[in-house]
Structure 1
């Protein structure tokens, strides 16, 4: 299986990756095709696809913030069952991420990830792809060491229409697996940086960030 990085929408694998995203994710979670042109040129954004016999069967996007010393998994897509796509993406992503951290001369505290809470959003079908079932995905993240932050989480719609997207948890995986909390300042600084690209912020998101600024720490809870 090939682990291939995409850095332009002209890449032959980009369109099938975008179509796969549209198949498994709700519309408000998918950035429009043409709006990918600029982000893909950002050296800090790492977009890779898993290619099996010429077909895009999986994808992942992640990034590392050297000044914050944290990473973020933007998405992970498994398009077919029975090929070991999940373990392949996880191991290749970790290998690449460690090289990025080493090249930055920084240290790495952990990685954020958003995950759908099926107990709040049971209607999500994710294109009928069984490995993308939110119950399965939560268990996978739990096994990887992710825990959810103790807060009512919302995020801005990627349609940039000012709508708040509910039904997700913000999770964090510490590199050493230790600790039962994370500094609130790290969380709100990360969120402001991550969503700076979306100028239309919903009021619910702004209130959430302001509440985080009044806290010292945030507990990490089992998923």
Structure 2
């Protein structure tokens, strides 16, 4: 299995990756094809696919913020069961992020991720791919070490229509297992930076951020 970085929508593997995203994720979670041009060309956004026998069987997108010394996992897609795709992507991503942090003279503080909560929303289908089942994914992320940031979370729809998307938690994977909270200022700065690309912010998101700005820290809870 190869770990191949995609940096252009002209890459022959990008269309296969985008089709896989459309198969797996709800429509509001998938950025339109043409809107991928600039993100893919952004050196700070790292999009990799797992390629087996010339076919895209998995994908992951993530980024490292040098000034925050944290990462964000945008998504991980496991296209087929029984191939060890999840482990492959996780280890390759982890090694890449640790190298980026080391080049920045740091040890990675942790990694954010938006985590579906199927206990609140039961209709997620995820293309019928069982490894992508939100119950499975939530438990896998818990095993890895992700925790839930303790506040009601919403995010702007990737349709950029000003709608708030609920049914998720904002998770954080601390590199230090003893970490019990995260600076609220870090969470606010991260969210503002991450969603700069979407100008139509829902009021619920603005209210959420305003609430976080009044806090000193946000506790980490089990998921």
TM normalised by structure 2 equals: 0.98
**How do 1:1-223 residues align onto structure 2 when only pairs under 5 Å count?**
1-223=1-223
Aligned mates of 2:47, 2:104 — CA distance in 1: 18
Cα offset for 1:96? 1.0
Superposition misfits of 4+ residues, deviation over 6 angstroms: none
Structure 1 residues without counterparts, runs of 5 or longer: none
Aligned mates of 1:9, 1:15 — CA distance in 2: 7
Deviation sequence 1:18-46 (CA, Å, 0-9, x none) = 00000010011000000000010111100
Contact 2:98 2:107 in 1 (8 A): no
Q: How many residues align?
A: 223
Aligned mates of 1:69, 1:107 — CA distance in 2: 8
Contact 1:66 1:107 in 2 (8 A): no
Structure 2 residues without counterparts, runs of 5 or longer: none
Cα offset for 1:103? 2.1
Cα offset for 1:178? 1.7
Contact 1:62 1:71 in 2 (8 A): yes
Deviation sequence 1:25-84 (CA, Å, 0-9, x none) = 001100000000001011110000000111100000000101111100000000000000
Cα offset for 1:113? 0.3
DSSP 3-state at the match of 1:123? coil
The RMSD of aligned alpha carbons is 0.8
Range 174-183 or range 140-149, more displaced:
174-183
Cα offset for 1:105? 2.9
